[in-house]
Amino acid sequence: RKEVEQDPGPFNVPEGATVAFNCTYSNSASQSFFWYRQDCRKEPKLLMSVYSSGNEDGRFTAQLNRASQYISLLIRDSKLSDSATYLCVVNTNAGKSTFGDGTTLTVKP
Amino acid sequence: SAVISQKPSRDICQRGTSLTIQCQVDSQVTMMFWYRQQPGQSLTLIATANQGSEATYESGFVIDKFPISRPNLTFSTLTVSNMSPEDSSIYLCSGSGHLNTEAFFGQGTRLTVV
């Protein structure tokens, strides 16, 4: 079993749609959690950190459930520019980041 | 967040040769890491670059193949040695200020071995 598992998608949604990505992790000692965005042929870039209390940044909402070892990302009112691969990232020990395989989102006009 | 400059951005190399990739951070960072990303796949950690000491390698990666240097808190290199076509990949360095803070990445090096 992978340490971090994501629904690979792809997700193909129309503009304006709401889409949710899920991620589970296996190491209960994991310390910190993030969502990254990776555009084609580019490096990953931090989208947002994920906290137990949940956090929101504009159209993006992230949730963490430590008991279920589950992380989610909700994107509302999807834009064409949201098309990318979204990576769930979990920091385990020694500050190392473990990446999920990514979920590909395509937003269509 | 800090900015990491990684070079070269891409290279095409002959099998049997070696390539050294450099990452320069514009501020001191506690942690630096090297990743590989195969086409269509996610990132796989190669090693943690330790300042002033030998890198810590993940399972499946060895120092002889991927020697790493980190002489100070702002700079690191990864060498891909005795390359074969299977080493064709994107190599990325990352840095973070503390153990549980987010990492930021260099622009990546797209390596093709022919």
Residue range B38-64, pLDDT digits in tens: 988 889 999 999 998 899 999 999 999
* Cross-sheet strand order for the sheet of B19-25: B4-7, B19-25, B75-80, B68-72
Structural element, H or E, at residue A98 = strand A97-99
In the DSSP assignment, the letter for residue A32 is: E
A34 has a chain B CB within 8 A of its CB: yes
CA distances from B40 to A9, A81, B85 (A): 13, 20, 17
A104 has a chain B CB within 8 A of its CB: no
Interior/surface letters A97-108, b for 16+ CB within 10 angstroms, e for the rest: bbbbbbbbbebe
Q: What's the gap in Å between the CA of A44 and the closest CA on chain B?
A: 7
Residues of A in contact with B100 (CB under 8 A): 31-32, 91, 95
B111: tokens are 């390596």
Residues of B in contact with A97 (CB under 8 A): 33, 45, 94, 103
A43 with B106: Cβ contact below 8 A: yes
From first to last of the 109 residues of chain A, give the pLDDT tens digit: 788 999 888 999 999 999 999 999 998 888 899 999 999 989 999 999 998 888 999 999 999 999 999 999 999 999 999 999 999 999 876 678 899 999 999 999 9
A31 with B42: Cβ contact below 8 A: no
Q: What's the gap in Å between the CA of B6 and the closest CA on chain A?
A: 11
Residues of B in contact with A99 (CB under 8 A): 42-44
Half-sphere exposure of B56 (CA within 13 A, CB side): 9
